[in-house]
A and B are shown apart, each in its own frame.
Chain A
Amino acid sequence: MNKLWIDERYCKGCLICVDVCPKKALKASPEINSKGYILPVEKDMKRCKSCGLCEVMCPDFAIAIEKAEG
């Protein structure tokens, strides 16, 4: 299964990634972080097709998708 990586130093919780994911593999975290941001978290990474759209559209270079091996 692919893995979601969020750089907590850079992510500002705009949630554009969650919205644009064509597979709805991500969701908003139920928690607010120490900066007051709601970060994206994995919802169902089995659906992720590594299309890269979340990485392309992130305004803050905070997201990366690690492809499952094989």
Chain B
Amino acid sequence: MKRHPMLKYLKEEGPLGPRMPLIFCPGCGSGQVLNYTLHAVDKLIEEDEVRRENFLFISGIGCSGRITSHYLNFDSAWTIHGRALAVATGALLANPAFKIVVFTGDGDTGSIGGNHFIHACRRNIDVTILCLNNGLYGMTGGQHAPTTPIGTITTTTPYRNREAAFDLCKLAEIAGASYVARWTTAHPQQVIKSIMKGLRKKGTAFIEILSQCPVHEKKTPVDLLKGFRRNTIRISKSKESTDGKTLIGEFCDLDRREWNESYQEIIDQFVMENDKIDE
């Protein structure tokens, strides 16, 4: 029997028995984002000869956070709600060579972790943030989030959501992230390329991925993916108007100084001064 090519990066068995199937509901975007991420990682291992032990995967809490819970055959940390970036900052201080992927949800990033998010971007810490945006709190029962579009019915907005949604990409860009892009789970090749770009880039790469939650959106995964194709428009094709659609593509790709590098300068300066004293 031939098996899925990315299973080589997953832990199918643990000391307490089988770890798979994944915990996600049928057709959930979380599994797809994991699949795309492993394809990107596979290419980096092959093309850039990045060593497997240099990758580190960190997540917060939520369905999207469960990606790191116990499936990855890499170093990974399943941390606390909204705080994955704080843990990533610490990890980078300990080892600036880490290739860090942070999996987070729209609630994890936009509400409880909002401050960690903007300050990670401001500092431009060297991480690749994959924000799975399903426009709601999936894990806790489909409540509305700061990313829920106006007019959407959720379990806590039965009369339709009245509050404006955060544009997480705009927030990341204005706060100072080096690389910002938005795609959907219906754009696998673009997501894979963006993740590779993010991991190769110094500084914060924020990649928002619109991701389906078939359970709370009450539609089939196939219909939700079709909706993503129908209701999005590439930045390059939206010069005149967005036609009421969500913009997808790369919003910025800059060479800004990354956080650890600027601290390294202080260390280098002290080393130099000490060397002088020794002379």
- Interface of A toward B, CB cutoff 8 Å: 3, 5, 7, 9-10, 12-16, 19-20, 37, 53, 55-66
Q: Is the CB of A9 within 8 A of B21?
A: yes
Report the separation of the CA atoms of residues A20 and B192 in the bound assembly, to the nearest whole angstrom: 17
CB of B222 closer than 8 Å to a CB of A: yes
A57 in contact with B221 given A9-B20, A14-B26, A64-B2 (CB within 8 Å): no
Given A7-B3, A59-B34, 4 more A-B residue pairs with CB atoms under 8 Å apart are A5-B2, A15-B222, A19-B222, A59-B28
Q: Is the CB of A13 within 8 A of B26?
A: yes
CB of B150 closer than 8 Å to a CB of A: no
Report the separation of the CA atoms of residues A60 and B2 in the bound assembly, to the nearest whole angstrom: 15
Q: Is the CB of B35 within 8 A of A62?
A: no
Residue of A nearest to B22 (CB): A60
What A residues does B5 contact at CB under 8 A?
55, 64
Main secondary structure of the interface of B (DSSP, over half): helix
Q: Is the CB of B39 within 8 A of A10?
A: no
Q: Is the CB of B4 within 8 A of A12?
A: no
Q: Is the CB of B2 within 8 A of A61?
A: no
Cross-chain pairs A/B with CB under 8 angstroms, 5 sampled: A14-B221, A15-B221, A19-B226, A56-B188, A61-B22
The tally of CB-CB contacts under 8 A between chains A and B is: 90
- Tally of B interface residues using CB under 8 Å: 35
What B residues does A61 contact at CB under 8 A?
4, 6-7, 10, 20, 22, 31, 35
CB of B128 closer than 8 Å to a CB of A: no
CB of B138 closer than 8 Å to a CB of A: no
What A residues does B96 contact at CB under 8 A?
none
What A residues does B24 contact at CB under 8 A?
59-60
Report the separation of the CA atoms of residues A16 and B185 in the bound assembly, to the nearest whole angstrom: 11
What B residues does A60 contact at CB under 8 A?
21-22, 24, 31
Docked complex: B35-54 residues within 8 A CB-CB of A? 35-36, 39
Residue of B nearest to A3 (CB): B2
Instruction: Give the interface centre of A10, A16, A64, A65 by most chain B CB atoms within 10 Å.
Output: A16
